[in-house]
Amino acid sequence: MNNIEINFMKQNKFLTNILSAAVLTSSILFSATTYAGPGHDHGDEAPVAAGEASPRVVMESELFEAVGILKGRMLEIYIDHAATNAPVQNAKLELELNGQQVPVELHDEGEFDAQLPEGIEDGTVAVSMTVSAGVDIDLLAGDLIVGHHDDLDSVEEVQSRLWEIVLYGIGGLFILALLVIGYVRLKSKGDK
């Protein structure tokens, strides 16, 4: 073998080593960004439906639990016994929204509907209800947030995406540095 062939083989081996290091680095670096964060690890937890949830208010006492779900301008109210989670039979309900008495309609056992009155717009609505079932009477209160929800991502989501961008940037710079170093070394050996 002559010097040209030996030099060519050394350069070829060096270039192969540089490219192998770049591939190894990129595979390690970019596989790290596939980490499943909280809520995305598909463990034992049941999957949560994606999408926008309707505004709701949850109220509890020792006797009753109530959930109000706003669908458009209709507030659907579900009342259960706190101890058994069973719908309250023969319940009577008096509802106030921001101190204004609102008529309710019995939909089914423990289920009521109420139309939001005019004048209640976006913002926090104070909800209070008096539930009576036989001798059991209780007052429940809570806040209902009506209106547009912020479309902003949570802090954790922003930090997660920022961390991925930083990792991709560092990885890209490292690979670029390896390729530049390899090119410079090949160029300097070729000039000798």
| Alpha carbon separation from 48 to 42, 53, 127, 149 (Å, rounded) | 10, 11, 27, 19
pLDDT of 76 reads 94
Indicate if 65 and 129 belong to the same structural domain. yes
Classified as helix, coil or strand, 176 is helix
Judged by average pLDDT, the poorest of 10-14, 31-35, 118-122, 179-183 is: 31-35
Judged by average pLDDT, the poorest of 5-9, 30-34, 72-76, 174-178 is: 30-34
Indicate if 11 and 85 belong to the same structural domain. no
CA angle 12, 16, 17 (to 5 degrees): 120
> How many Cβ atoms sit within 10 Å of the Cβ of residue 80?
17
Q: What is the pTM of this model?
A: 0.52
Tally of domains within the chain:
2
The range of the structural domain enclosing residue 23 comes to 3-44+154-191
Indicate if 110 and 67 belong to the same structural domain. yes
Report how far residue 128's alpha carbon sits from residue 96's, in angstroms, rounded to the nearest whole number.
5
Indicate if 93 and 117 belong to the same structural domain. yes
In a domain, 50, yes or no: no
In a domain, 49, yes or no: no
Which helix (DSSP H) or strand (DSSP E) does residue 1 occupy? none
